[in-house]
Amino acid sequence: MSRVCSTGCGTELGAKNKSGLCRPCRCKATMCNPEVQARSTAGLKRYLTDPVHRAERTAMSAKNLARWRASPEGRAKTREFAMANLAKAYEFDATERRRRQRQAAYPGIPESRWDECVALKKHMTAAEAKQMIRDDEALRERKRKAAMSPFERDMERLRNGAGLVAAPDFRTSNPDFTIGGIASASL
């Protein structure tokens, strides 16, 4: 008579099996145990933070990387990867770096008006140019909001994250009595 895994998965067990579980079920049961997980995590942290082991791992990684790059396949793959990503990465870095520099130089000014600010700085100080554009932006915003209907203003507030507020009900309910004094509920 052959024995079967006690979890009900249907796997037949060997004659030397003492746990009553097949290998996958035993691994699942063991790794779901919080004590086993804690011991495993602690041991792994000790192992990875050991300076001797860290040095050995670093040396081994460097050696394997050098061996890979020395092989014809490794050289070809490295060159292919570098050529595919170098131009794109450099272009992105340069444009992103320029945008961040301008964003830091012109805080509170929309990106579409940075060039205008540069042109104004030729005729006045940087602070005056920035303030002039900020004032103009505030004026434009006030005019835009003044031209909006109340519905459009409410919809914009909702798009910007404002919550809905229930309007209070000021209507009065009908009284439960009549002028004659007889309760209408009893009629």
Tell if the pTM clears 0.85, that is, is over it: no
Question: Tokens 């998965």 belong to which residue?
Answer: 9
**pLDDT exceeds cutoff 80 at 182:** no
Report the alpha-carbon distance of residue 86 to residue 79 in Å, rounded: 10
pLDDT computed for residue 172 by the predictor = 74
The pLDDT value given to residue 63: 93
Spatial distance between the Cα atoms of 161 and 154, rounded to a whole number of angstroms: 11
Rounded to an integer, the average pLDDT of 101-118 is: 86
Report the pLDDT value the prediction gives residue 110, as an integer from 0 to 100.
87
Amino acid 143: pLDDT: 94
pLDDT, tens digit, 9 for 90 and up, residues 11-21 = 888 888 888 88
Rounded to 5 degrees, φ, ψ at 141 are: -65, -40
pLDDT digits (tens, 9 = 90+) for 47-93: 888 899 889 989 999 999 899 888 999 888 888 888 877 766 666 66
Q: How many C-beta atoms surround the C-beta of residue 95 within 10 A?
A: 10
Q: Looking at the predicted structure, is the pLDDT value of residue 1 above 60? A: no
Confidence label for 179 from pLDDT (cuts 50, 70 and 90)? low
- Mean pLDDT, the chain, rounded, equals 84
Query: Which helix (H) or strand (E) covers residue 77, if one does?
Result: helix 72-105
